[in-house]
């Protein structure tokens, strides 16, 4: 029996053991539960009280002794509803907290910052950021876009460029030679596209958006993005981009 779902619903290992024991034994006092589960007698009551609070165990008092029993297993399903409500509450609380966090992040003390993102999801996060920091008429610059990145991120960038177009954000991209000719490229009215001379390969590529510069590496073994927030750094990399742009092949 896969009990991992019970843990994900918020039951501890002791709670799972006690509940399963109650299913097996039926109505019982704590003594047989301690013997069957190995839960210390000093912790059995707190475990059962927690199960009672969650609605999956009930009890009656016979004389002065509590006799516990497991509720119908279907009752456990309501824990999913509780998790869903907790998640919605967390989302609401986070939304109210987010403006303050962003304001704090954007203060002068954050004039310079470095973050590291791992995996393809991390690289996607870097490009998602450009949609937040750029406004209509802004531009995201990408230099040396490699073939492997194009293959792995193709679906993502199809949607990304649609979002750029809808937001009125421009794009300038310089592809590796092999990347450009690996497949038929789509026309993108919001974007200007060029490619590097044949023979130049760049597993590492650079993206610039406003005050942010991202240096990214995509190989078979490594997918990493280093994000630098600094106006001067971004401006210097933009000069480098413009230099390469001037000698790149026009589409």
CATH 1.10.10.10 residue window(s) in the chain: 4-78
Cα separation, 189 vs 248, in Å, equals 19
Residue 234 has pLDDT above 90, yes or no: yes
What is the dotted CATH code of the domain comprising 111-250?
A: 3.30.870.10
Mean per-residue pLDDT, 34-53:
91
> pLDDT for 166-196, tens place per residue?
999 999 999 998 888 887 777 888 999 999 9
Binning pLDDT at 50, 70 and 90, where does residue 106 land?
low
- For the chain, first and last CA: distance in Å? 60
Residue 85 vs residue 18, higher pLDDT: 18
Binning pLDDT at 50, 70 and 90, where does residue 121 land?
very high
Question: 1.10.760.10, 1.10.10.10, 3.60.70.12, 1.10.3720.10: which CATH number matches 4-78?
Answer: 1.10.10.10
Binning pLDDT at 50, 70 and 90, where does residue 111 land?
low
CATH 3.30.870.10 residue window(s) in the chain: 111-250
- CA dihedral 114→116→122→127, nearest 10 degrees, is 20
Mean per-residue pLDDT, 35-61:
90
């Amino acid at each position: 029996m896969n009990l991992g779902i019970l843990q994900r619903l918020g039951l501890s290992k002791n709670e799972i053991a006690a509940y399963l024991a109650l299913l097996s034994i039926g109505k019982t006092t704590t003594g047989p539960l301690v013997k069957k589960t190995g839960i210390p007698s000093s912790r059995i009551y707190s475990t059962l009280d927690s199960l009672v609070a969650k609605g999956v165990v009930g009890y009656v008092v016979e004389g002065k002794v509590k006799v516990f029993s497991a509720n119908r297993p279907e009752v456990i399903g309501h824990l999913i509803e509780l998790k869903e409500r907790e998640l919605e509450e967390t989302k609401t609380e986070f939304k109210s907290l987010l403006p303050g966090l962003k304001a704090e992040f954007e203060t002068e003390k954050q004039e310079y910052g470095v973050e590291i993102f791992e995996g393809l999801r991390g690289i996607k996060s870097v490009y998602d950021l450009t949609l937040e920091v750029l406004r209509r008429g802004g531009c995201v610059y990408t230099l040396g876009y490699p073939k492997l990145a194009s293959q792995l991120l193709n679906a993502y960038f199809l949607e990304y460029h649609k979002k750029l177009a809808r937001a009125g954000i421009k794009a300038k991209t310089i592809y590796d030679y092999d990347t450009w000719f690996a497949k038929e490229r789509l026309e993108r009215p919001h974007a200007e596209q060029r490619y590097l001379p044949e023979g130049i390969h760049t597993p590492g590529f650079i993206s610039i958006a406003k005050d942010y510069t991202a240096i990214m590496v995509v190989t078979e073994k490594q997918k990493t993005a280093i994000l630098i927030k600094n106006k001067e750094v971004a401006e210097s990399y933009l000069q480098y981009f413009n230099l390469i742009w001037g000698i790149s092949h026009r589409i």
